[in-house]
Amino acid sequence: MKLASEQAGRLDVFENVPVGRAVRTMAVPTVISQLIVLIYNMADTFFIGRTNDPYMVAGASLILPVFNISLSFAGLAGIGGGALISRLLGEKRPEEARKVYSFCVYLGALVAALFSVCVLIWMRPLMALLGAGGDTYGYASSYAFFVIVCGGVPTVLSNTLATLLRSVGESKKAGFGITMGGVINIALDPLFMFVLLPDGMEIVGAGSATFLSNCIACGYFIFVLHGLQKQGSVLRLGPPLMLPARTSLIGIFAVGIPSAVTTLLFDLDYVVIDRLMSGYNDIALAAIGIVLKAERLPLNVGVGICQGMMPIIAYNFSAGNFRRMRDVKNYSLRLGLLCAAVSIALYELFAGQIMQVFIGDAGTVTLGTDFLRARVLATPLMFLSFFHVYVFNGFGKGGHALFLGVMRWVVFNIPMLFLLNAIFGMYGIVWSQVTADVLTVALSLFVYHRFAKRTFAGDERYSAART
């Protein structure tokens, strides 16, 4: 009885806490952790930029898409499993939720390990594909070795476990773990880069700091989950062969695969941007590398809001509480658009100063300032795009999420990159995001409203949610 009461208390944020406070309770720790992750990713670029070596900056920037691809496996296991766990709890099926949790932990660790081995084996062709030339190959491959080959498993496992924690309402613990890892990374960067290692090895120092900090974060999550297991949480690790029901396996992959594919396509877009920009010069490549990291700040805020929202959406959709589900969705949407509007104002005003934080090279700063002011205009459009993907993931409708992701990247964004690059050159690459996401948002709104009309038409609970 006591264990059941503790479990019910953890789910109170899904059921009874006022909507605004519930979303903030779930989203604020997630947003903070997303910002810290971004800051420690940018910290590598910041400290590497202190060398004023654009080739070293470009080498590290080339690995960002590959690093993010590795994180897509956390989406496969974490978002696929986390959304299902929340829905199972809404259906009052805790034992099945426990089996889903165990399966997703093993799944995340396995696919991360396989990806790390593949990167190690095919390092040289991968670097060539990313556009690493003679001046950047050594830097890029060294950085990839530490953050992906060595650090792939702890990085993916940390993010998977954080998402699974949020699925049962433990957003604060999830946010603290990711934040702690980021803070440690920021602290270790200058120590490894400028104190422990000799000149010219700064990128090795940055990679080593990232690897070690992710190992520490992973250890924290294992410790926290061990404590929750003693308290009766559904997040209890079982034997590897204890599989969930067939319908649950389908549910995990129905959401997890589209989530991973969407992330892969997002990062493929970054790879194409880097590849096209490398055709101009290394200064342009360094500039866009910094811009692609700087623009992630408002995007990560939006992702944090969506990640905090999704478990509440999933739980209430499964429980049939459509009024609360709808209110959570609308509150999160308004909050995300407000943050996007604020980011546009700040980035337009301070784009030059933001670039100077990362590098002192005048040519890179000038070019990057123009790039950043153009790219940030897409922020509210990008938020609306992935907001609808998270909503469909919460519903368990991975097919809808996959359709929107494929249309966004394969049909709109990537072709727009090639088209505008051919017409307008490097500035066409920069403006492609705004152009493509106008089409994406229009499609997302159409698909959602069509789904809502078909799914909820005539349902009294939905009618009540609209009044």
Please name the amino acid found at residue 424: F
As a whole number, mean pLDDT of residues 232-258 equals 83
* Residue the block writes with tokens 């070690």: 212
| Model confidence pLDDT, tens digit, residues 270-282 | 778 878 887 787 7
Backbone angles phi, psi at 321, to 5 degrees: -90, 75
What percentage of the chain has pLDDT greater than the value 90? 16
| Model confidence pLDDT, tens digit, residues 305-328 | 998 898 899 899 888 888 888 899
Of 112, 133, 152, nearest in space to 58 by CA: 133
Rounded to whole angstroms, the Cα distance separating 150 from 330 reads 41
As a whole number, mean pLDDT of residues 295-308 equals 86
Of 6, 9, 5, 17, nearest in space to 308 by CA: 17
Q: Where are the domains of the chain?
A: 15-461
| Model confidence pLDDT, tens digit, residues 174-221 | 889 888 988 898 888 888 888 887 777 888 888 888 889 989 999 999
How high is the pLDDT of residue 383? 92
pLDDT band, residue 299 (cuts 50/70/90) = confident
How high is the pLDDT of residue 1? 40
Rounded to whole angstroms, the Cα distance separating 275 from 21 reads 44
- Tokens describing residue 458: 């005539």
Question: How high does pLDDT run on average in the chain?
Answer: 83
Residue 465 in this model has a pLDDT that exceeds 50: no
How high is the pLDDT of residue 50? 73
| Model confidence pLDDT, tens digit, residues 359-400 | 767 778 888 888 888 888 989 999 999 899 999 988 888 888
First-to-last C-alpha distance (Å) of the chain: 38
Q: For residue 121, with 0-12 CB atoms within 10 Å meaning exposed, 13-18 middle and 19 or more buried, which class applies?
A: exposed
How high is the pLDDT of residue 212? 92
pLDDT band, residue 3 (cuts 50/70/90) = very low
As a whole number, mean pLDDT of residues 399-418 equals 89
How high is the pLDDT of residue 460? 53
Please name the amino acid found at residue 434: V
CB atoms within 10 A of CB 449: 10
Per DSSP, the residues of 257-290 read HHHHHHHHHHHHHHHHHHHHHHTT-HHHHHHHHH
How high is the pLDDT of residue 7? 53
- 0.95 exceeded by the pTM? no
